[in-house]
Amino acid sequence: MLGFVQGRLTYFKSDKLQIFPKNKWKEEIQAASSLKIDFIEYFTEREGDFKHNPFFDSKKFNFLKTQSKKYLKTNYSFCDDYYINHSILKNKDLSRIDNLFYKLNQANIKIYVLPLLEKSNIKLSNYLKFVEVLKKISNKAKKNKIYIALECNLEKRSLKKLIKLVCNDHLKIVYDTGNRCLIDTNQNNAIRYLAKYIIHIHIKDKNKKGDNVYLGTGIVNFANVFCALKKINYKRNFVFECLRGNHPISTMKYNINFINFFIKEFKL
């Protein structure tokens, strides 16, 4: 199935990648249906009071559940950008995650994407400090029958070691094609090395400077990526987390056609 991160069908003057469509999120659900998109990856912004976000407002949340059931094939994933700006190591109180997991269960969402970047950045010099908090969150996820899809900038060997240290079968990996191309010099090898843990794919392209670019115009070798996904027998879903452009609907149509080519070519 194909999905996209909220905000990808809404035009913004800003070129910021993640922007919550405050006044357009309802319209995006219907627009996704018209494009034959299967699901939307909902998300929390890095900052804000979140009152515009349906996952933090009961009335809006009930509307989202009704509309998504009507127009989408499923609800599937949720990306929690909050910890990009708030250190997960300093936030000892995990009641926020308890409340969020409760809502995810109500919406039948089973993939919780956890980007540990910037303020929560995991690196070779500190990744052991994250083991305990990831154990706690993974235990909460398992109780709620939710899988954590971890995103971080660790190279593949350290990432695999971290997953093994946490030792919970509900802690997995989201493989972001754009972000990982700057870390994995050979994405085919990296995907095959991490195969056991990859539960989710973010589709993105970047140039050599690390800027987000339109699919197929950057340095991601998508044939190489999909060849690896075929090798590991990847059967799960893909989420567009790429540029929306000046004409988001047209951009999304292009993205769908681009990725469907590789899905069909490699018979995924």
CATH code, domain with 241: 3.20.20.150
Local confidence band at 133 (pLDDT 50, 70, 90 cut-offs): very high
Q: In sequence order, what are the beta bridge partners of 5?
A: 41
| pLDDT (average), residues 14-19 | 87
Structure token pair of residue 203? 């589709």
Best CA proximity match to 167, nearest among 122, 145, 206, 197: 197
Q: How far is CA 170 from CA 137, 161, 212, 255, in A?
A: 10, 15, 30, 30
Percent of the chain having pLDDT more than 70? 100
Rounded distance between C-alpha atoms, residue 180 and residue 115, angstroms: 13
Residue 134 has pLDDT above 80, yes or no: yes
Rounded distance between C-alpha atoms, residue 212 and residue 82, angstroms: 21
- Model pLDDT for residues 54-81, shown as the tens digit of each residue: 999 999 999 999 999 999 999 999 999 9
- Model pLDDT for residues 137-180, shown as the tens digit of each residue: 999 999 999 999 999 999 999 999 999 999 999 999 999 999 99
CA 112 centroid distance within chain: 8
- Model pLDDT for residues 102-129, shown as the tens digit of each residue: 999 999 999 999 999 999 999 989 989 9
Q: Quote the number of domains for the chain.
A: 1
Helix (H), strand (E) at residue 250: helix 248-265
Rounded distance between C-alpha atoms, residue 52 and residue 110, angstroms: 23
Is there a contact between 83 and 91 (Cβ–Cβ < 8 Å)?
Answer: yes
Local confidence band at 16 (pLDDT 50, 70, 90 cut-offs): confident
| pLDDT (average), residues 251-263 | 98
Is there a contact between 4 and 239 (Cβ–Cβ < 8 Å)?
Answer: yes
* Mean per-residue pLDDT of the chain: 96
Kindly state the DSSP code that residue 258 receives in the 8-state scheme: H
| pLDDT (average), residues 83-112 | 94
Helix (H, G, I), strand (E, B) or coil at 57: coil
- Model pLDDT for residues 186-223, shown as the tens digit of each residue: 999 999 999 999 999 999 999 999 999 999 999 999 99
Residue-range definition of the domain harbouring residue 60: 2-265
Structure token pair of residue 259? 């990725």
Local confidence band at 265 (pLDDT 50, 70, 90 cut-offs): very high
